Amino acid sequence: MIPDVDSVADPDRRLALACVAAGIRAATPATVVDEQVSLEGSDLVVDGDRYDLDDYGDVIVVGGGNAAATAASALEDVLGDRIDRGAVVTDTPEETERIAVLPGDHPVPSERGVESTRRLLETAASAGPDDIVIALVTGGGSALMPAPAEGIDLGDLQATTEALLESGAAIGEINAVRKHCSALKGGRLAAAAAPATTVGLVFSDVVGNRLDVVASGPLTPDETTFDDALAVLDRYDVDVPDAVDARLRAGADGEYPETPGAGDPVFESVTQHVIADGHTAMDAAAEVAREAGYDPLVLSSRVRGEAGEAAKVLAGVAEECAATGTPVEPPAVLLSGGETTVTIRGDGVGGPNQEFVLSAALELSEPDVVVASVDTDGIDGNSEAAGGVATSATAEPVAEARAALADNDAGTFLERRDGAIVTGPTGTNVNDLRVFVVPEQ
């Protein structure tokens, strides 16, 4: 996924890239499904829970997100002809035999995504009360499974998505709006499949693994309301199309039903399993660091906020580690996950991970510390890179680096300095992975 790691001359830069590669590899569906899902006789075993497939009629697979097709392929390897039919929507296609892989687009929804999601909902709704539905829910599903609600069209969804992504709103806030503009999100996929037994296999790209936020919670009771969605638009001064504003206000006035919440009977036959998340990637990266003789320390899986501000904090931790041996004695590798955001003020190329790397490089007073950060789905913001890698020297000249950040152009700056990490779409999505390599002083 990251080419020629072994050819990198600097050992600390090589280690940073190796940690990133291991983290992504560990979170790929082929690895995760092989470790977490099995067929023992007629029993589907997921994370220790058993589902005797002989007790059910049809086995139906549905879902969507960046990892949906690779997960579907891996699931076919486990279940084979026990699968009767299925449909998943993704932007990363994969060869499958029994599950239809349908196209969609990310991060902005598309017309083909709308058509694919219509077929997905039809497949879910085809389940009878004696059937079992296996739902693959992965990061990126919010954009890849667009299903415009009554009174809204695709153009309205696209404009709303773009405005929210540029606003600096957190993913949970963005999804509060998207749930109330959708016929699938906020528990409505569960409603379509009910009363069949539904088993969710979740690849989480959300801080804290909130199931109501991953892919906008298609199988999860929704805690947000139309009023909450309106509050997000007001808080970030987001301008949305008139049709979206009208629907949200009509919903707040009781003219549309709320998304299904806790206690709704559609969730009585739904069970969800988080089979991969940020810790999956961090644990694998930590093992690589340990094997290299570095002491790994996971700082947090829940880092969030503006990328530049988060970079200042974590760069400070790396500096403290180098200077005093706190919180861990060098040689060490500091790891973190989560999801930072960027408020768009310029028209450059990049994303939160590249802004994090360049911001950290500007802050670091320890010249030997290496910082790397990637989005595990392989796509960071509007760039072709997954993220970046840097030292303090990378951010020179400083004035040019600061100008690049001001124009949201960290990607261009890093690419010119051999600091871009390009993986292509990885077929997974468990959020960001950040690495600070602190060599022995």
Tell me the per-residue pLDDT of 129-160, one tens digit each, with 9 for 90 and over: 999 999 999 988 999 999 999 999 999 999 99
> The domain at 278-438 falls in which architecture?
3-Layer(aba) Sandwich (3.40)
Q: Which two tokens stand for residue 193?
A: 């499949």
Q: Which two tokens stand for residue 321?
A: 């580690």
pLDDT in the model for residue 171:
84
Tell me the mean pLDDT in the region 261-276. 96
Q: Which DSSP state fits 260? A: P
* Residue 94: count of CB within 10 angstroms of its CB: 20
Tell me the mean pLDDT in the region 214-239. 96
What are residue 338's phi and psi, to 5 degrees? 110, -155
Q: How confident is the model at residue 107 (pLDDT cuts 50, 70, 90)?
A: confident
Report yes or no: 13 and 21 within 8 Å, Cβ to Cβ. Answer: no
pLDDT in the model for residue 345:
92
Report yes or no: 439 and 331 within 8 Å, Cβ to Cβ. Answer: yes
For helices 154-167 and 171-179, give the axis angle rounded to 10 degrees: 160
pLDDT in the model for residue 36:
95
- Domain spans of the chain? 25-276, 278-438
Q: How confident is the model at residue 1 (pLDDT cuts 50, 70, 90)?
A: low
Report yes or no: 146 and 182 within 8 Å, Cβ to Cβ. Answer: yes
> The domain at 25-276 falls in which architecture?
3-Layer(aba) Sandwich (3.40)
pLDDT of residue 318 exceeding 90: yes
Alpha carbon distances (Å) from 58 to 29, 176, 224, 243: 23, 33, 33, 39
pLDDT of residue 194 exceeding 90: yes
Per-residue pLDDT of 405-436, as tens digits, reads 999 999 999 999 999 999 998 989 999 999 99
pLDDT in the model for residue 230:
98
% of the chain surpassing 90 pLDDT: 92
* Residue 265: count of CB within 10 angstroms of its CB: 10
pLDDT of residue 48 exceeding 90: no
Report yes or no: 360 and 182 within 8 Å, Cβ to Cβ. Answer: no
Per-residue pLDDT of 156-183, as tens digits, reads 999 999 999 889 888 889 989 999 999 9
More confident residue, 292 or 208: 292
pLDDT of residue 4 exceeding 90: no
Is the link from the previous residue into 439 a cis peptide, with omega within 30 of 0? Answer: no
Q: How confident is the model at residue 3 (pLDDT cuts 50, 70, 90)?
A: low
Per-residue pLDDT of 353-373, as tens digits, reads 999 999 999 999 999 999 999
Tell me the mean pLDDT in the region 49-64. 98
Q: How confident is the model at residue 9 (pLDDT cuts 50, 70, 90)?
A: confident
Alpha carbon distances (Å) from 84 to 29, 87, 251: 21, 11, 38
